[in-house]
A = this chain, B = another copy of it.
Amino acid sequence: MTQELRIALAGLGTVGTGVVRLLEENADEIRARAGRDIRITAVSARDRTRDRGIDIASYAWEDEMAQLAARSDVDVVVELVGGSDGPALALARGALEGGKHLVTANKAMIAHHGAELAAQAEQAGVSLQFEAAVAGGIPVLKGLREGAAANRVERVYGILNGTSNYILSAMEKTGRDFTDILADAQELGYAEADPTFDIEGVDAAHKLAILAAIAFGTRPDFGAVETGGISGVRAADIAQADALGYVIRLIGMTDCAAGEDGKPRLFQRVQPYLVPKSHPLAAVDGPTNAVVVEGNFAGRLLFQGAGAGDGPTASAVVADLVDIARGNPAAPFGLPVASLASSSPADTAERRNRAYLRFVVSDRPGVMAELTAAMRDAGVSIESLIQHGKPEEAGDVLVAIVTHEGPERTVSDALAALAQSDCIAEPPLVLRVLG
């Protein structure tokens, strides 16, 4: 154990340079805690000469990233390139094939190919770790896999995308609309030029699929995540929610129950939720992430911190390296891959919750009667209804409804009945209330 642990780094973007800086700045602490030095021996990135504010002259350079996996002076390959397939996946496979440990921050790759890679790691007798793939610097995978290891996990949910949370909390504070705030966020670097993955829930869905697999001992099933984003949320929705005692947060939520055949039915949803103001997640604003793990003995555990950024992500990457240096043999998903169950998606028709429905309707007599009759006929019980906008004005108005708890099926039925109505000006927004 006194030999140094030798690292190859693929990708020198913000996270990669963060890892270089961290290993340098905290070298003393890391040596003491890991029991040996952790040293970068080789790196690869797109551009060798770009100024990154770090000195990479002492590391061997590989033009071809895949070559890192073949080097004899490397014990661990750290993949920080991104993308679910392509070069990242080729490197990951190559590294494990070559008997090297693999550490990655690549949520898309793990969500899509995690089980395959974990099986390969198991066979090769090496570690596969990806703490940085979920919730940045927050050690939530470790918390779930090890800290909560004694529990039957009842559900896991949280704020998994910093960009969306930044936008929603900025909308909340300023009263401004989505597109305005998105433009600001892009300017400030909180949102990317193409923000689709963040604002449409895909990034959160990647993370949720990983959390679900670890929580419930199932194979990651990204394809089955019901995925929605925040682009349909208006300032008016946030104002209605506020008036009713809620904030709106993009939440990834997962739980799991045995079906009639005994096989697991996995519920995975990413969607804006109405979060009661008294709930700890309501106080989470800006680009922060927070994950709640509910265990049958631990109760409600909350893990909160920075969900992205070079420092926090590098912190998680290097925590994995320290674990490997210490010889900690954690299974990536908490169980041997052969023990991971195949799940089916849960049927949500009978899932009970309260819903928030927002309609944009023509402002004319009879509209409210049509809306409420459709609710009644489908068996949806209305808890509160706010008609937003001044009825004397011409044009469309907003109607927001919060339902009593009931099966999701009834809401779907009501919306189906209203789908052909000419009083509905655009597709309604349907959110759930976090209970």
Contact = CB atoms under 8 A, between A and B. Distances in A.
Interface of A: 18, 22, 25-26, 29-30, 32-35, 131, 137-139, 142-143, 145-152, 217, 280, 283, 290, 295-306, 309, 311-312, 314-319, 321-323, 326-330, 334-336, 339
B146 A318 contact: no
A308 to B, nearest CB: 11
Nearest to A340: B32
> Counting chain B CB atoms within 10 Å of each CB, which of A152, A290, A315 scores highest?
A315
Nearest to A293: B305
Given A137-B299, A335-B33, A150 B322 contact: yes
Given A326-B330, A339-B32, A150 B26 contact: yes
A152 B302 CA distance: 23
Contacts of A300: 305-306
A297 B280 contact: no
Copies held by the complex: 2
Contacts of A311: 296-299
15 contacts: A26-B297, A137-B298, A138-B147, A142-B146, A143-B303, A150-B315, A150-B321, A283-B283, A296-B311, A298-B306, A299-B311, A301-B303, A302-B303, A303-B303, A328-B329
Contact of A304 (B280, B309, B315, B317): B280
A48 to B, nearest CB: 25
A297 B20 CA distance: 12
A213 to B, nearest CB: 13
B151 A301 contact: no
Contacts of A217: 29, 32-33
A316 B150 CA distance: 8
Nearest to A305: B301
Given A32-B335, A319-B149, A305 B299 contact: yes
B33 A314 contact: no
A208 to B, nearest CB: 20
A150 B319 contact: yes
Given A138-B147, A143-B143, A302-B304, 7 more contacts: A26-B150, A35-B336, A139-B146, A148-B315, A149-B322, A150-B321, A304-B304
